[in-house]
Amino acid sequence: MSQGVELLRKVLAHRDRLSAEDLVSLNALTFRVENFARGSEIIAEHSRPDASCLIVSGLAARAVFQADGTRQLTALHIAGDFVDLHGFLLKTMDHSVMALTKSSVAFVPHEQLADLTRKSPHLTRLLWLMTVVDAAVQRRMTALIGRYTPLQRLAHLICELYVRLGVVGLVDGQSFGFPIRQAEVADLLGLSLVHTNRTIQDIRATKLVAWADGRITVADFAKLSTLCHFDPTYLSLRPEKR
Amino acid sequence: MSQGVELLRKVLAHRDRLSAEDLVSLNALTFRVENFARGSEIIAEHSRPDASCLIVSGLAARAVFQADGTRQLTALHIAGDFVDLHGFLLKTMDHSVMALTKSSVAFVPHEQLADLTRKSPHLTRLLWLMTVVDAAVQRRMTALIGRYTPLQRLAHLICELYVRLGVVGLVDGQSFGFPIRQAEVADLLGLSLVHTNRTIQDIRATKLVAWADGRITVADFAKLSTLCHFDPTYLSLRPEKR
DNA sequence: CGTCAGATTGATATTCATCAAGATCGGTGG
DNA sequence: CCACCGATCTTGATGAATATCAATCTGACG
């Protein structure tokens, strides 16, 4: 079983029980793995990909660029995220996907996904769900940037990462690797670089989070959650019949 | 053919050719229509709906509420939008859907949608697409609030509405009805009410848009698009094999 | 005529971006 | 081993953008 499929199985299993038949269909998917350097573009805006990709390792982000070169990173993606399932339906990309760290990415051809929609309604619904969860995460991001203070935005980002990375086993005790530059955090949170730096100092001052050398340690998840009103409902992490 | 199905057919036909078989499956869907008053909740956060809804007439919005009573409207929905297709997969709502004007809403039971995923892979992909387009619109919203000026946000909102309302035939010449209070525009754009008021005055001053008595007239769509870098790619409005 | 919701205005305080320097650190060539 | 360099983080100063507060205005309607 490829690493990509194994990760996908783990992520889907958090949302619904997978039947033996589901597993067979999953295993039938063939992934081509490709590596990307930090800062490189995995999928380009306006391109027409013929395969969808899943992050095997590393961090990636969806990016929307502006004419003046500034950008907004609209979503962050981690190992196990079927990032570009969207492209399967969109056909033409409305945004790009960037590797924020050295990443390993698995591609599955669109034909195989189309096949899945014909042969496995249940897996289809689960993959559909994954894109709907992406939408929910995006909604939360909109709300964060629109109505939360910078400190809350950052706290929320950390809470979300803590939970999502936990699902794929990437939280070690209370800490996880997050080798991201502050400029990128700024583009995620909709802040300037300087203000982001100060906000990071603010969150360190709360003592709820330690952040050094590309690693974040969550000292008090409960208090951090309260600070930013984190409610994980939007991640749909309860196994249910779907 | 019900009004709901007819609208849906129109919206889907903008994304792909519908076969005779597709139309039969569409017509098999049974919608229960319900009316909502301005300001009422169509779907509540944390609820577990057993039917998904489509806006037949009126304006609706997804809302995320904060502890202090403030809210962010994360997305705006118009006639023809299958707003709550998300609920079919999420099972538990992570946000609420509000009627911004008196609205007529058609509900189709989740069982019928599940059935569709078993019997009509093509329609399934098209409905899936509609949720993916919602995600794309949401992404654009995040980028807007994070990196665009208030004037650009408002201009972009108007461009988007102009195009989306055009698809369902709700643009009359160069104008469309938009009977929304400024407080709601503020919650959409992530601004304060006062600043929203001033931004509306700014956009009036450009003469590119007239806005009075609940009606917006777009005097120069091309210039307005340029002002806010509007690129309709994210709406996926080209019929393609999907 | 009074009331109410919504729009508008002016004044002020706060937040945030921008600009311009440092500081820190790892790597690299001599 | 050490001086230098570039990338990143940090800091301080300043001004612009935005929120907040408190009126006032307007039009619809009983």
Q: CB B134 to CB A134 under 8 A?
A: no
How far, in Å, CA of B82 to CA of B72, rounded?
20
Q: Give the pLDDT score at B190.
A: 98
Q: Give the pLDDT score at B3.
A: 85
How far, in Å, CA of A148 to CA of B128, rounded?
30
φ/ψ of B12, rounded to 5, equals -70, -35
Calculate what percentage of chain A has a pLDDT beyond 90: 97
Q: Would you call B147 an interface residue with chain A, using a CB distance cutoff of 8 Å?
A: yes
Q: CB A236 to CB B72 under 8 A?
A: no
pLDDT at B1 over 70: no
**Within a 13 Å sphere around the CA of A231, how many CA atoms are in the beta-carbon half?**
17
**Within a 13 Å sphere around the CA of A165, how many CA atoms are in the beta-carbon half?**
23
CA distances from B211 to A90, A116, B73, B131, B182 (A): 33, 48, 21, 30, 11
Q: Per-residue pLDDT tens for A22-47?
A: 999 999 999 999 999 999 999 999 99
What would the DSSP string read from start to end of A67-115? TTS-EEEEEEE-TT--TTHHHHHHSS-SSEEEESSSEEEEEEEHHHHHH
Mean pLDDT on B153-158: 98
Nearest protein residue to C10's C1' (by CA)?
B194
A181 touches strand D (CB under 7 A): yes
Mean pLDDT on B156-180: 97
Using 50 as the pLDDT threshold, list the residues of chain A that sit under it: none
Q: Per-residue pLDDT tens for B88-123?
A: 999 999 999 999 999 999 999 999 999 999 999 999
Longest Cα pair distance anywhere in chain A, in angstroms?
54
| Partner-chain residue, chosen from B95, B124, B143, that has the shortest CB–CB distance to A117 | B124
Give the 3-state secondary structure of residue A242. Answer: coil
Q: Give the pLDDT score at A130.
A: 98
Rg of chain A taking only CA atoms, in angstroms: 18
- Residue B4 binned pLDDT confidence (cut-offs 50, 70, 90): confident
Q: Give the pLDDT score at A1.
A: 58
